[in-house]
Structure 1
Amino acid sequence: MKGMKKKFRPLQLTPPQILVLGFAAIIMIGAFLLTLPFASASGMATPFIDALFTATSATCVTGLVVVDTGSHYTIFGQLVIIVLIQVGGLGFMTMATLFAFMLKKRISLKERLILQEALNQSSMEGIVRLIRKVIRYALTIEGVAAVLFAIRWSADMAPGKALYFGVWHAVSFFNNAGFDLFGGHTGVKFVSLTGYVDDPIVNIVAMMLIILGGLGFIVISDLLDLKRTRRLTLHSKVVLTTTSLLIVIGAIVFFLFEYSNPLTLQPLSGWGKFWGSMFQSVTPRTAGANTIDIAAMRQASQFFMIILMFIGASPGSTGGGIKTTTFTILIGAMIAMIRGKEDIVFFRNRLAKDRIFKAITLSMIALFLVIFVAMVLSTTEDHHFLMILFEVTSAFGTVGLTMGLTTQLTIVGKIMIIFMMFVGRLGPITLAYALGPKKEKELFRYPEGKITIG
């Protein structure tokens, strides 16, 4: 009957929903590949929960692992992980756009909207041009770092292996993933870069990769265009200033707290202490590699590291956390309130109210999530609370540092950390938009009321 027929409407997904489903699909494909027997060095299938944990950690560029990457996985398994890291770090829409460029396919309006959401941009203007720059910058930076790593590590291993290690770790560190293969090379599991704590080449190259990956492609583009434009955007000024201050302050704090610690900095030379302090200040900004034993650090250092991990990297980057700009807005709001000012002003620019509300909302959601999951894990995991809080914050900030809890997690613990890594990579607000109802315009406003504060 003609009147009874219903018009078929294809499922209409919003850009946040497409991002959530896209990342989930990539994770599931990666988990399936990692469960295959020939992905494991033992020739036996990896348990699905462990493969899912690893695939989520790689796609969400975190670095938390329940099995040692270098010794547990074959070359095939390692290649699956590094592809997941590259796709997850640059974003699956960026990679899809790369293939579209190669096939000379036109980027549709819907795809531009998704790219805008993925790169956390305020408008679609110049989004395709930015994607071209992202791909070019990423491949150039990773290529140069891979060569430098390969030259350095050729002194410790065969040239072919050094080149493989160079490319693999350049991709891992630039995408702030923190995965490493040195467990298979040294025979010591979960060793990370502890064997290179005082090596200037490894430290400098790794830190530059982490910093460049964490600054965000908008800032890198801004810096490279500086000679032509002769000015930086407000976003770039805030990111560069905040990042520099956090790195310097972090290095000083770690140097002071760990200087006399016999298990971390004390046995090292003066330069060793300097590199150790610097690297541990840079790596909590969502990188995950470490050159000293995190579990051996003093509690004050570990708690300070939790704060750095919660702040994280910058918008539009390969890192997680609440982001440096959010943290700066919160500090700016506090200072403005104390000084009795109505506006938050950075570099002679006043911030819009919606930016401030978004920063507060993001921070509160993130804080509630971390607290809730830490409380749940404190009942399922038999470990002290600081270790649990460290693990949860590391997962949310997509950092990958651990005090040793990851390999001892229960099934419930692994599921909760997988959830936190997923939320941390996509961002709490993106996930909320994807799961929540569509935004509707308010038809009226209620009268203003007053509440006493403080």
Structure 2
Amino acid sequence: MQVFTSVSKWSPPRVLVTGFGLIILCGSMLLALPFASSDGSFTPYIDALFTATTSTCVTGLVTVDTGSHWSIAGQIIILVLIQLGGLGFMTMATLFAILLRKRISLKERLILQEALNQSSMEGIVRLIRKIMAYALTIELAGAVLFAVRWSFDMPIGQAVYFGVFHSISFFNNAGIDLFGQFGTPYVSLTGYANDPVVNIVTMLLIVTGGIGFIVISDLLEYRRTKRLSLHSKVVLAATLALILAGTLIIFIFELSNAKTLGSLHWGGKILASFFQSVTPRTAGANTLDLASLRQATQFFIVLLMFIGASPGSTGGGIKTTTFAVLAVAVLAMIRGKEDIVLFRYRIAQERVIKALTITMISLGLVIAVTMILTTTEDQAFLKILFETTSAFATVGLTLGITPELSAFGKALIIFMMFAGRLGPLTLAYGIGPRKEKVLFRHPEGKITIG
């Protein structure tokens, strides 16, 4: 009884950290058992833990090929973990409570507010209903389109299964695929670089999963309200700008590279450039061999991955709104303006400080883990930086070093995926001591900057 009383007093961040940790632990124990592997053998626990973490944290980095190593049962476990991790275990739990007509308590609403990164509890349960409706509708549409397309390449039953698996995986920005079972492991979507249907459907799933459910709701209700919230405007503008800029830069850098865009026809070059610009938004799928990209392109993708998706979405990274606020703040400082204005709205100073805090903590984590891995792993610096950023931003793109990591390297990447999915501030609040009320303020001081 004392244990339950203690748990009931936990802060929302601590509940989220513990909940995700328990889901990963349960998933890893199931995946380690013989029935989960295709050959009926035990999977080394570090690989089972890695797979459970990458699935629950919707990352996509894998140490064993998903299509060839895991049995159907193992793949279904991975799919359940992706859905739980993408939508959030509290969202799923709330859905069941609603279906059972149970009352959602104030504490549960506070946890949902933290999980969905909302500024208030108002309408939180109504938002959960919308999230489930949007998610299931979009995933079903993606599954149908994929199944129809892949029915030309494989038996109809397998095409339906592939359609459901990849629609859920891509919408939740996990990027885990099953195409390794056809002979070449870790192949992702490279066999469909010129296929407009697979590319366009995948990109739509990634973008809708990455912009966040609040933005989706705003867009669907626009015909009735004739307005978009400031949040939606910033997310859509930042997302569009990053995708277009990314497409142009990748196209320019890789146009003459015979190992990537150079081997494709002009329609394929444009399509592949778009795809590689969209997928760093924490999706993890790729249609080009990333290891063959020029180093300048690889480093640019690192930057795109670090920014990531948008708040309240299935993706990770520091988020598009954080990047937008910091970019506008820099421009305001350069122009000598005190106010930071986006779409004719002044951004509160505390929001700017929070954006800066998230960025600095995230950057510090990526730098620290990269430095450690460069001493423990026999890999090039850029490959390790790429891997670390991909793990933190829950992207899942890799230059091919994931299966070659040592047990210690895998453990560090597991930590980065966990930290990236929950967010650095939530993780810090979840494992740190309870905040104490400050009873005094220090006198203001002046320091020279720049």
Query: Could you state the TM-score of these two structures normalised by the residue count of structure 2?
Result: 0.98
Shift of 1:441: 2.8
Matched residues in 1 for 2:336 and 2:436: separation? 34
Gaps of 5+ in 1: 1-5
Deviations 1:367-408 (CA, angstroms, capped at 9, x unpaired): 000000000000000011000000000000000000011010
2:129 paired residue among 123, 128, 132: 132
Distance across 2 between alignment mates of 1:336 and 1:180: 43
1:110–1:278 Cα change, 3 Å: same
Say which of 90, 93, 96 aligns to 1:96.
Answer: 93
The Cα offsets for residues 43-94 of structure 1, whole Å up to 9 and x where unpaired, read as: 1010000000000000000000000000000100000000000000000000
The residue identity in structure 2 corresponding to 1:163 is V
Q: Percent identity?
A: 68
Q: Select 1:404's aligned residue among 387, 400, 409.
A: 400
Shift of 1:100: 0.9
Is 1:423 aligned with 2:419?
yes
Rounded to whole Å, the distance in 2 between the matches of 1:239 and 1:339 is: 24
Q: Which amino acid aligns with 1:147?
A: V
Structure 1 residue 267 corresponds to structure 2 residue 267: no
Quote the Cα distance in structure 1 between the aligned partners of 2:334 and 2:6: 53
Q: Point out the more displaced range, 357-366 or 97-106.
A: 97-106
1:59 maps to 56
Q: Cα–Cα, structure 1 residues 165 and 337, in superposed 2: closer, same or farther, change >3 Å?
A: same
CA distance in 1 between counterparts of 2:55 and 2:437 reads 39
Shift of residue 7 of structure 1? Answer: 13
Aligned to 2:323: 327
- Residue 82 of structure 1 corresponds to 79
Letter of the structure 2 residue corresponding to residue 282 of structure 1: V
2:46 corresponds in structure 1 to: 49
Partner of 1:305: 301
The equivalent of 1:389 in structure 2 is 385
1:275-298 deviation line (CA, Å, top 9, x unaligned): 110000000010000000000000
The 1-side partners of 2:270 and 2:136 are apart by 30
What amino acid does structure 1 have at the position aligned with 2:174? Answer: A
Alignment of 1:354 onto 2:336: no
Write out the 4+ residue segments of structure 1 that deviate beyond 3 Å after TM superposition.
6-11
Residue 376 of structure 1, aligned match among 356, 372, 375: 372
Deviations 1:296-346 (A, max 9, x none): 000000000000000000000000000000001110110010011111100
Match of 2:114 among 100, 117, 132: 117
What is the aligned-residue RMSD (CA, Å)?
1.2
For the residues of structure 2 that align with 1:50 and 1:38, how far apart are their CA atoms? 15
Map of 1:3 onto structure 2: none
Which residue in 2 is equivalent to 1:251? Answer: 247
- Which residue of structure 2 aligns with residue 190 of structure 1? 186
Q: Which moved more, 1:95-104 or 1:151-160?
A: 95-104
TM-score of the pair, normalised by structure 1: 0.97
Report how far residue 9 of structure 1 moved: 5.0
Confirm or deny that 1:173 pairs with 2:181: no
Cα distance in structure 2, aligned partners of 1:63 and 1:395: 8
Counterpart residue type for residue 437 of structure 1: P
Letter in 1 for 2:439: L
| Equivalent position amino acid for 2:192 in 1 | Y
In structure 2, give the amino acid aligned to 1:93: M
Distance (Å, rounded) in 2 between the aligned partners of 1:425 and 1:317: 11
Letter in 1 for 2:136: L
Deviations 1:197-241 (A, max 9, x none): 010000000000000000000100111111111110000000000
Distance 1:8 1:135 in 2: 29
Q: Distance in 2 between matches of 1:243 and 1:10?
A: 42
How many residue pairs get matched? 448
Q: Return the alpha-carbon distance in structure 1 between the equivalents of residues 90 and 233 of structure 2.
A: 27
| Aligned mates of 1:317, 1:148 — CA distance in 2 | 23
Match of 1:141 among 135, 138, 142: 138
Cα distance in 2 for partners of 1:369, 1:264 equals: 31
What aligned pairs does 1:285-300 form with structure 2 within 5 A after superposition?
285-300=281-296
Displacement after TM superposition at 1:42 (Å) = 1.1
Q: 1:256 to 1:44 in 2, by over 3 A?
A: same
Q: Which residue among 438, 447, 454 is the counterpart of 2:443?
A: 447
Residue 191 of structure 2 corresponds to residue 202 of structure 1? no
Distance 2:18 2:432 in 1: 15
Q: How far 1:8 sits from its partner (Å)?
A: 10
Note if 1:211 corresponds to 2:207: yes
1:23 partnered with 2:29:
no
User: 1:321–1:7: structure 2 CA closer, same or farther, 3 Å change rule?
Assistant: closer
Cα distance in 2 between the residues matched to 1:89 and 1:421: 13
By how many angstroms is 1:438 displaced? 2.1
- Shift, 1:448, TM fit: 1.3
